[in-house]
Amino acid sequence: MTQKQPNILFIMFDQMAAPALPCYGHPIVKAPNISKLAEEGVIFENAYCNSPLCAPSRSSMMAGQLASRIRTYDNSTLFPEDVPTIAHYLRDNGYYTCLSGKMHFVGADQHHGFEDRLTTDIYPGDFGWTPDWDNFDRRPTWYHNMLSVVQAGLCVTSNQIDFDEEVSYNSVRKINELARSDDERPFFLLASFTHPHDPFAMTKEYWDRYDHEQIDMPRVPKIDYDELDPHCKRLYHVSAMGEYEQTQERIRNARHAYYSEISYADDKVGFLVDALEKNGLKDDTIIVITSDHGEMLGERGMWYKMSYFEWASRVPMIIRAPARFSPRRVKQPVSLVDLLPTLTEIASVNKPIVYADTIDGKSLLPLLKGGDEDKNAVVCGEILCEGAISPIIMLRRDKYKYIYCDADPEQLYDLDNDPDEINNLVGQSEYEKIRKTFHDQVTKGWDTKNLREQVVANQRRRRLVDRSMRKGKFTSWDFQPFEDASQQYMRNHLDLNILERKARFPSPEIPTPDGRLGKRKEG
């Protein structure tokens, strides 16, 4: 029997590293709600972002295409309005689509296929954060610095908490509304939180869930600057990592706060799942958990992202739908661009899918159904943002990870035998055939010199546009949420009895004139 189109609750986090979650093996972090979904769902053990930075990662995920294809290079690149997204495809296939929270869309279109958007974004939607590969030595003042680590610790509230409280409230409220709605369409609700992104600060409630002395330190201690690979040296410059000393206590404080932020984010998952369950929607809803990228969290002395080391690029990916997919763990490498073809195939209910563009992702539905893993499957990633000076390409196949950049020595790691990526196998004769296979794939798939020229030209255009827009009257592209108060609560043009009945869930029965309860039409 053909299954009906399921609802989809897509829960996204920011900077949540897969290795930091208990369902991926972390012994200290407490995230019981995510862990329960993982136990009931399919957990992809080797899921990667396709660009380890917020906006390009999210845009490529939404489009199912690599950042280089849709030219969303960095946190200030226009996400083209004519690129179809997951939301467009699902909406075209009969879904109600709604966004609550962060997506870091850059440009005048702040919906990209979502019928409704409930909150503004936490980050700007303009060109103000455009990198400058022409002048790499000039550090961008708007980027991360080490104050997030130096000042890590307790807070009563923060910019991040204010935002995620709004996201949580609006998401739960929307689930309640959907349960009461007369709209018979299935829904795609994307709830996107900004935690556990730095700054590393959290309230006492969550801080106290951890024993400070039991907070583990990085598996790979700080590597001397002179021994770092060239890209890590560039990241040191971009994030001013040498500005403050990385003392043991500062590192422990930052990691303690990060774990606390994960627990805070995990509670938000609990609120959303509880809302589904109370409204009778859980059984018909596929739940997806993921993040846009990871967080180095002091490994190798590095912080934040924009790297293809595991902590920065490997993300959680959990898909829970026990009525459809039996719980299992999948080792095959996958990536965020796979989510568009996966969700659209599920939503199509066995109808042919016609994509308007070349899709770089592949449907994970065979794996979700228990199919065999493909040891030759290749995951691709790119770094085209600040911190780079030329395109960086990552390929992951089976147990090997390969990283290429015109400006840097190649890197090749055996993640089964070297999970901390300490031993670069390039130059070792027994791995030369593997290196060459990866290298040939990069040169066949990317014209890195031409791509660099495109990125630099795009940066120059955006910097000029941004300068001009800040002279005289500034027109913001940031999304402005609007609520029509005339349709809320009690208003004189609304029938009180009908309003109260429709606003209550479950809807109460209407008494008949003789006092019995029963269904009848309002006259």
**pLDDT tens figures, 395-421:** 999 999 999 999 999 999 999 999 999
3-state DSSP call for residue 315?
Answer: strand
459/506 same-domain check: no
Mean pLDDT for 255-269 is: 98
CA angle 374, 375, 376 (to 5 degrees): 90
Residue 200 forms part of a structural domain: yes
3-state DSSP call for residue 170?
Answer: helix
Name the strand (E) or helix (H) holding 452.
helix 448-469
237/282 same-domain check: yes
Cα 159 to Cα 155, 194, 231, 262, 405: the distances in Å are 11, 10, 30, 16, 36
Residues 6+ apart with CB under 8 A from 195: 13, 14, 16, 160, 161, 164, 261, 262, 264, 265, 268
Residue 480 forms part of a structural domain: no
234/294 same-domain check: yes
Q: Which of 104, 112, 195, 293 is catalytic?
A: 104
3-state DSSP call for residue 47?
Answer: strand
Residue 308 forms part of a structural domain: yes
**pLDDT tens figures, 326-335:** 999 999 999 9
Q: Which of 49, 54, 155, 405 is catalytic?
A: 54
Model pTM above 0.85: yes
Q: How far apart are CA 456 and CA 172, in angstroms?
A: 42
232 is catalytic: no
Question: CB-hemisphere CA count at 13 Å for 429?
Answer: 0
104 is catalytic: yes
Cα 326 to Cα 11, 34, 285: the distances in Å are 20, 17, 15
450/512 same-domain check: no
Residue 41 forms part of a structural domain: yes
Tally of domains in the chain: 2
Lowest mean pLDDT among 11-25, 48-62, 241-255, 498-512: 498-512
Question: How does the average pLDDT of the chain come out, rounded?
Answer: 94
3-state DSSP call for residue 4?
Answer: coil
Find the CATH number of the domain harbouring 124. 3.40.720.10
Boundaries of domain holding 502: 485-518
Residue 85 forms part of a structural domain: yes
Above 90 in pLDDT, residue 481?
A: yes
Residue 426 forms part of a structural domain: no
Q: Taken in order 111, 112, 114, 120, is the CA torsion positive or negative?
A: negative
Residue 339 forms part of a structural domain: yes
